[in-house]
Structure 1
Amino acid sequence: MKSINLFLVLILFIPITVFSQSIESNEYNRNSIAIITVKNKKWNKEIVSASSNYDYSKFDINEIDSKELKLDGLSPNGDRAKFIDSLVENSDLGKEVISYWFGRKANGEMNVDRVAKRAVYNANDADYDNSIASKRGTAMIEDMGFDLVKSSYIFVIDNPRIEYSRKNKSYDINSVLYVFRVEYTQEIEASIFETWINESDTPKVRDHKNKCFNNIKIPLKLVYTTKNASSSSDINLAFKYIYDGLFYNLEKDMESMAVGSYIENVNPITAKIGTKEGLKNGRRYFAYKYKEGRDGELKKVKKGVLRATVIADNKNTDLGKTPESSFYQIAGGTLREGYSILQKNDIALGVSLGYRYGGYEGYALKFDKLLSINKSGGSNYLLFDFTGNYYTHIKPLSENKSYFTSVSVEVGYGYGIRFARIFEIMPIIKFGADMLFDTQEEDKELNQGYAYMVMPELRLNMNLAYPLQFMVGVDYGIPFAYEKNYKEILDYVETSKGRKRKGMGLSAGLKYIF
């Protein structure tokens, strides 16, 4: 068992060591969480099981005794969020988390086994190289685990609405995630070490230290809240979708929850993160260069945008031999080894607004969803395009104007090819329907018509100021099935407005990537 004196030395030594290394490498510290669910007496076993069946492997889990939060004192019209905040902040959950970190037993004895183990799992090869070069060797890595204790959080998940719709045969769920940070300060750490029980302590000393530990208050602070809603016929999928959304928002909004690393190589771009950090194909990262500002403080300057391509399995890797994941740069300037990269979640959905000239002419709204990206930047997309227009025309033998509306809807697949950093060319094949409506015709059997079509397209996306792009595309619509009314309505529009039943079209507009 380590003595108190050793711990006091570590208290003084560790913050200096870790701080200096964090500036140099912008290393990612793995967060630890305790999960608390707001209890609902009406839940059946299926709901209880589904709500607790989520994969939290990106985090270290603090398995504290408290698993549920009861809202027995909440009035029917009470503020649910404030009540939860008050319950948690006035609880001993923070002490439970710290007790778990130090393996505190019923008799008050503690150890640093979990701290050391998690430090080794969190460490990267740079930490390993630094430790080998030091006199203390890999013991230095174990000591760095104390800094991980500061990255402890409590996730309180509240599902105030879980309903089953017999009509839609689906579960409708509303969820709220409350994130509380354990305010583990150096003063609290010193107080805990003062209550550390040594083998030589007498029963009287042990009793005194346990009383002192019980009097320690470890604050909790609400640092983030987010909401999500989901529906699915499968209760397990409903909870997966809703939790995916909650944690997507969390990682996007809280930088401390985002994975960070640095560039190891630039051709191709690689970094030593992978499955251990929850890295997935297509995940977006920003690359930064650190420079000193006029005030002497280090500031990060964005240099590029990357997407993860090949993901390394680094969950069971020896230190010093960590495999590297590959990334592809989709925007920005020249990157260099040592630049920091930081996870910046997006939904990888491009939305374009523009106009289609010729062919199926009209105002165009286009969506492209990135499905995957390979090491060379080749990208698979699912596409949905919507084109609409409005025409006026005087029919033969009539003095009144007629009003026509056209709507074209296409779904397709595209493959993005990047031949330069700012350009992406995308061959596309789409299938869809072109619909025409005569808004003045009262007979419902005569006032609308449609035709099915196939449409190849070649589209070019050019970065203006990422995530803003300029989009231009050339397509050729080929209808292969006409409905009778479609031809008759089109005769009016084609004659007067030049809208074609088939042929080439040119689209142009602005695209934004969300």
Structure 2
Amino acid sequence: MKKIILSLIAITFFTALYAQENKEKSVKYRRSSLYTVMVDAPNLPYADSIKKFFINSTIPEKFNDHNLGNRVFTNFTSPTNADPIKGNELLLKRVGTITSPTNANSITDNEILLKSIAKEAVSKWFNRSEKGGFNMELIRSRGSYDASVLDIATAKASKRGLDMLADAGEELIKNTFVLVNEFKYTSKEEIAKKASGWLNALGTIGDYAGISNASLITNAVAVGVTVAGKGYIVKTNAHLYRLDWNEEVATKFYNEYWAEDNTITNEKKQAFDDSDIFKLVYVGSDNSWADVQSSIFTNKREEELVQRATIKAVDAVIIELQKNHEEFKTKTPLYTGEPITAKIGTKEGVTNKSKFEVLEQQISENGKTSYAVVGSVKVDENFPIWDNRFGAEEENPNSKIDRTYFKKVSGKEFYPGMLIVQKKGK
């Protein structure tokens, strides 16, 4: 009898543990949405293959994939470049040619293009069909909303329905971002030759790679970047935009443009086609870089090394942008509550000094979402931080770590599904 009781206790314990971990896996939290593009640079090494690689690359899993048809822009002028784009041919091009928001000489052209991207982003949110009709399927899926409350005709007839539409706009549509990456590839062998054969200072690499930000070089030391040997340094200047979805835009959209396929008219279809109310707003720019050492991957071609570094550079610049722009920070659900763990790691910029607020999602009587801070955690230094960067499984083939552990700083009981967000400036 004693053995039977012990067996039942063990089964109950492991069933509870399995259920706790599975609870997190089933959590549907509302991620920000991201559309990443690169600026075409045909003179870079392996330009064509890198372009194909980027086009097929995936969005970081902490974001919803909101990629549109074109992921390569041409004729981009960065915010620090005063030279305008010449000619009116820009006006005839579809999404894919863009100029900086600070370039006064071509701001009109730029606004047209940014609005074109914004309209396509809205079309994707509402699954616009060839007939011109919309539906709420993507919003319902990403936001875990009940289908009945997102029926537009019904929603517009009640306060609760309008609140739910507003919640979808605030929680999902408003948090749609576009990230434009300008890449620069530099061979470490080439840098070494320019530096008379040997580099022993990261500052020198920064100078040659066009990196003036001293903190980036310091960060590179922290993650063990090596400077000797063959390999590539990839730098990206990234420019972040956000879809401007507000109450005025939402009201006009639902009242004047909305129609399903079975109710669409030529007038409403044309009204959306001719609309110019949708726009992207410039959030900010940042830069970062990644170093790939070919001596680690003796079986890798140089082309593959550049590909790896390209993705790592994008991941790194997202971290920099999140440090400087609160609205771009992502939320991550706790994986387990005891011990406190989350599926987050070095890819998201987690270090031993990282601190996070713990948020509990709350739903009002009208269905609107809010987040209450219920505590805080810090990285548990007794455990290694999960290295989840691109290609980490090849660089650390023996690692069994698949999550990061945290210590409670304040708060009561935490449970899977609660969200953590990195504290400002950390």
TM-score (structure 1 length as normaliser): 0.44
2:422 aligned with 1:343, yes or no?
Answer: yes
Larger fraction in helix: 2
CA distance in 1, matches of 2:358, 2:260: 47
Q: Per-residue deviation at 1:151?
A: 0.9
- Cα shift readout 1:430-479 (whole Å, capped 9, x = no counterpart): xxxxxxxxxxxxxxxxxxxxxxxxxxxxxxxxxxxxxxxxxxxxxxxxxx
Q: AA paired with 1:67?
A: R
Match of 2:239 in 1: 178
2:132 aligned with 1:108, yes or no?
Answer: yes
Q: AA paired with 2:35?
A: A
CA distance in 2, matches of 1:69, 1:31: 22
Q: AA paired with 1:176?
A: N
CA distance in 1, matches of 2:405, 2:188: 43
Structure 2 counterpart of 1:207, from 244, 248, 266: 266
Q: Per-residue deviation at 1:42?
A: 2.6
CA distance in 2, matches of 1:59, 1:261: 10
Higher RCO structure (Cα 8 Å, ≥6 apart):
2
Q: AA paired with 1:248?
A: I
Distance 1:262 1:227, change over 3 A: closer
SS of match in other structure, 1:108: coil
2:257 aligned with 1:195, yes or no?
Answer: yes
Contact kept in structure 2, 1:263 and 1:336, CA below 8 Å = no
CA distance in 2, matches of 1:345, 1:52: 32
CA distance in 2, matches of 1:165, 1:288: 42
Contact kept in structure 1, 2:131 and 2:261, CA below 8 Å = no
Q: Per-residue deviation at 1:102?
A: 0.9
Structure 2 counterpart of 1:49, from 52, 65, 68: 52
Instruction: Name structure 2 gaps, 5 residues minimum.
Output: 1-27, 86-97, 102-106, 147-162, 193-229, 295-304, 361-370, 387-402
Contact kept in structure 2, 1:66 and 1:93, CA below 8 Å = no
CA distance in 2, matches of 1:60, 1:340: 16
Structure 2 counterpart of 1:84, from 100, 104, 109: 100
Aligned pairs (5 A) from 1:83-482: 83-85=99-101, 86=107, 89-91=111-113, 92-120=116-144, 145-146=168-169, 147-159=171-183, 161-164=184-187, 167=190, 169-193=230-254, 194-198=256-260, 201=263, 206-214=265-273, 215-232=275-292, 233=294, 234-260=305-331, 267-269=338-340, 274=343, 284-287=354-357, 304-307=377-380, 327-329=405-407, 332-333=409-410, 335-337=412-414, 341-344=420-423
Greater mean alpha carbon deviation, residues 333-342 or residues 177-186? 333-342
Among all aligned residue pairs of Structure 1 and Structure 2, give the percentage whose two residues are the same amino acid: 17
Q: Per-residue deviation at 1:101?
A: 0.9
Distance 1:111 1:333, change over 3 A: closer
Q: Per-residue deviation at 1:104?
A: 1.0
Contact kept in structure 2, 1:119 and 1:143, CA below 8 Å = no
Q: Per-residue deviation at 1:195?
A: 1.4
SS of match in other structure, 1:224: strand
Distance 1:259 1:37, change over 3 A: closer
Larger fraction in strand: 1
SS of match in other structure, 1:216: coil
Q: AA paired with 1:62?
A: H
Distance 1:345 1:244, change over 3 A: farther
TM-score (structure 2 length as normaliser): 0.52
Contact kept in structure 2, 1:268 and 1:326, CA below 8 Å = no
Q: AA paired with 2:249?
A: I
Contact kept in structure 2, 1:191 and 1:216, CA below 8 Å = no
Match of 1:32 in 2: 33
Distance 1:88 1:228, change over 3 A: farther
Contact kept in structure 2, 1:94 and 1:218, CA below 8 Å = yes
Contact kept in structure 2, 1:266 and 1:335, CA below 8 Å = no
Q: Per-residue deviation at 1:211?
A: 2.1
Contact kept in structure 1, 2:55 and 2:72, CA below 8 Å = no
Q: AA paired with 1:343?
A: Q
Alignment: residue pair count: 277
Q: Per-residue deviation at 1:333?
A: 5.0
Q: Per-residue deviation at 1:340?
A: 6.9
- Cα shift readout 1:177-230 (whole Å, capped 9, x = no counterpart): 1110000112212222221234564xxx72211221122321211112110133
Contact kept in structure 2, 1:119 and 1:142, CA below 8 Å = no
SS of match in other structure, 2:236: strand
Which has the greater radius of gyration? 1
CA distance in 2, matches of 1:328, 1:72: 42
CA distance in 2, matches of 1:94, 1:100: 10
